[in-house]
Amino acid sequence: MTLHRNTPSLTTRRRLVWAITGISIFRYLLNKLDYPVVAVGKINAPLNIERIGHLSRDAGIERLRSKGKYLSLPLRDTNRTLAPITAQGRTAGIGHRLYHNIIVFIYGISRSRLVFVHWEEVSWAVVFNDTYYVKAQLGEDAEERYLNSLPDGWLDSIPPWPKGVMPRDGTSFDEYNRHDAAPYATTLIDMPLGHSVVKLLHDSIAPAVLSFLSPIREESYLSELHLCVHIREGNKEPGVWSSRTWRHIHLSSILLQTLHSMVSFANKKNATNVSVFIASDSPKARPWFQNYAPPSWKIIRTGKEMAKPESGVWFGGDGPNAKLTQETKDNVMAEAISDVFALGECDALFIPSYSSFSLVSIMMMRAERRSVLFMDKKTGEYVELSYPDDIKSG
């Protein structure tokens, strides 16, 4: 009787070699992968390799890899023959100040000029590292400065670009066209240069922001589908918010309609291992999802959370942040910026109503050719913003 050693077949050995090679390549990419064209840094989140294991084909890992095609930013004038610009941020809410700042960045970068940023309550350096193009203001403001305002002719030197088309009227997308909100919001959504500028910021997130963002990323790594929504209720906010009744929402209806659309979206993708990130000024939003989402879904809790104001938001108009210590202000701002970028790192982003807070997130999603869906105000159904044929991914 012949004894046979229990050795793997040639096919099995080949599979093992390929698996080991794949894991090695995967680990190499996690450490070395840069974003294309305008990359200024590597993936920001420290990865827990032991948790991820052998998930080299997992959709959660794929979300870390940029698939966008970004314009190369022009070299700036390093000889200072062109004077720098200062983009300021004061009293405005997070989304509104980022909206203005990004347009100033586009204006300055497209003209090869260095842009300094001066935020009063919290230094820009707390939330973003300096880059070749944009730096925290250390001394006096530049002679040309913009405080929650826009440069004249900022679009003049930018060639036309293809834009997505909303298949129907009456969705929350229309609210981004309003001139009493952020009049250039829909201009920015598909702007290639705007995408590159937002990518620059995404790659320069500071450690304070990563302390909030990294736990959110880790919670979504193991899901096959990661969905996000930003729900702006208003939190009994006085001032301008109370007068803009078109922005007011019925929270219960929004929650129900959003979850229904998310379930429908996941079913179309045949996904059951789903994670959901909710950014909201309402303390009721996430607990509601935890109670009513399918049992197999993971509703993400951030690693740490800052207290919310009794009314309104910490930063904006009459924001009540004056009673906070500087350390708390820094942390509150870092958490808010983390939410902005977390909303842009999803497979699908749901927009129930207008908020400038989600504009950067929408731009991130569009740059990566991912799904952005806007709510039909009459039916509650979410409708995906299409891509022009020449930029639609396969």
pLDDT in tens, 109-154: 999 999 999 988 899 999 999 999 999 987 666 788 888 789 999 9
Q: What pLDDT is attached to residue 59?
A: 63
In angstroms, the CA 335 to CA 212 distance is 6
Print the domain residue range for 345. 185-384
**Dihedral of alpha carbons 330, 46, 350, 310, sign:** negative
Q: Report the domain count for the chain.
A: 1
pLDDT in tens, 326-374: 888 899 999 999 999 999 999 999 999 888 899 999 999 999 999 999 9
Mean pLDDT along residues 163-172: 92
Q: Is 205 a domain residue?
A: yes
Q: Is 82 a domain residue?
A: no
pLDDT band at 227 (very low <50, low <70, confident <90, very high): very high
Q: Is 297 a domain residue?
A: yes
Q: Is 211 a domain residue?
A: yes
Residues 6+ apart with CB under 8 A from 153: none
Q: Is 287 a domain residue?
A: yes
Q: What pLDDT is attached to residue 322?
A: 63
Residue 365 contacts residue 372 (beta carbons within 8 Å): yes
Q: Is 278 a domain residue?
A: yes
Distance in angstroms between the alpha carbons of the first and the last residue of the chain: 58
Q: What pLDDT is attached to residue 58?
A: 58
Write a three-state SS string for the chain: CCCCCCCCCHHHHHHHHHHHHHHHHHHHHHHHCECCCCCCCECCCCCCHHHHCCCCCCHHHHCCCCCCCCCCCCCCCCCCCCCCEEEEECCCCHHHHHHHHHHHHHHHHCCCCCEEEEECCCCHHHHECCCCCEEECCCCCCCEEEECCCCCCCCCCCCCCCCCCCCCCCEHHHHHHCCCCCCCHHHHHCCHHHHHHHHHHHCCECHHHHHHHHHHHHHHCCCCEEEEEEECCCCCCCCHHHHCHHHCCCHHHHHHHHHHHHHHHHHHCCCCCEEEEEEECCCCHHHHHHHHCCCCCEECCCCCCCCCCCCCCCCCCCCCHHHCCHHHHHHHHHHHHHHHHHHCCCCEEEECCCCHHHHHHHHHHHHCCCEEEEEECCCCCEEECCCCCCCCCC
In angstroms, the CA 284 to CA 261 distance is 19
CATH number of the structural domain spanning residue 232: 3.40.50.11350
Backbone phi, psi, residue 57, to 5°:
-105, 5
Residue with tokens 């922001």: 209
Share of the chain above pLDDT 70, in %: 71
> For 136-140, 155-159, 195-199, 219-223, which range has the lowest pLDDT when averaged over its residues?
136-140
pLDDT over 60 (residue 205): yes
In angstroms, the CA 353 to CA 233 distance is 9
The angle subtended at Cα 124 by Cα 188 and Cα 70, nearest 5°, is 35
Q: What pLDDT is attached to residue 60?
A: 64
In angstroms, the CA 185 to CA 191 distance is 10
Q: What pLDDT is attached to residue 240?
A: 60
Q: Is 216 a domain residue?
A: yes
Query: What is Dmax (Cα atoms) for the chain?
Result: 94
Q: Is 209 a domain residue?
A: yes
Q: At what angle do helices 192-202 and 359-367 cross, to 10 degrees?
A: 110
Supply 129's token pair: 């590292």
Could you tell me which residue, 62 or 310, shows the higher pLDDT?
62
